[in-house]
Amino acid sequence: MSEGPVATIIRAKLTAGLSPLRLEVEDDSWRHAGHHHEGGMDAKPGGESHFNLVIVSAAFQGQSRLARQRAVNALLKDEMAGPVHALSIKALTPEEAG
């Protein structure tokens, strides 16, 4: 399944900012169908407003869980101000990911 434009932007920004060893970007918007914030970038129902992220990066070394979340949110601030309504973030160091 190909990624939509918002997922592509998220992947590019997180790759550039965190150099992840593993990056999963899952569009979870379908589970929120009918919500007032549904629609994402192209305002189509079911599209790119909710994402689950798994990021494994050495950049998280020595950071608290909150600091990791803030780092991801800072990289995606434009998307969070626009098409993205919610992110579920699992941010791990390589050691934590095993």
CATH value at residue 25 = 3.30.300.90
Record the tokens describing residue 88, joined without a space: 């579920």
On whether residue 74 sits in a domain, the answer given is yes
- Only one residue has tokens 């990911």, namely 97
Q: Could you tell me how far CA 74 lies from the centroid of its own chain?
A: 11
What pairs with residue 90 in β-bridges? Answer: 54
Q: With a cut of 60, say whether residue 8 has pLDDT above it.
A: yes
Give pTM, 2 decimals: 0.83
Q: Binning pLDDT at 50, 70 and 90, where does residue 34 land?
A: low
CB-neighbour burial class of residue 1 (10 A; exposed 0-12, middle 13-18, buried 19+)? exposed
Residue-range definition of the domain harbouring residue 61: 6-29+47-90
pLDDT (tens digit per residue) in 38-95: 444 444 555 788 899 999 999 999 999 999 999 999 999 999 998 898 999 999 999 9
* Dihedral of alpha carbons 27, 30, 32, 34, sign: positive
Q: Binning pLDDT at 50, 70 and 90, where does residue 96 land?
A: very high
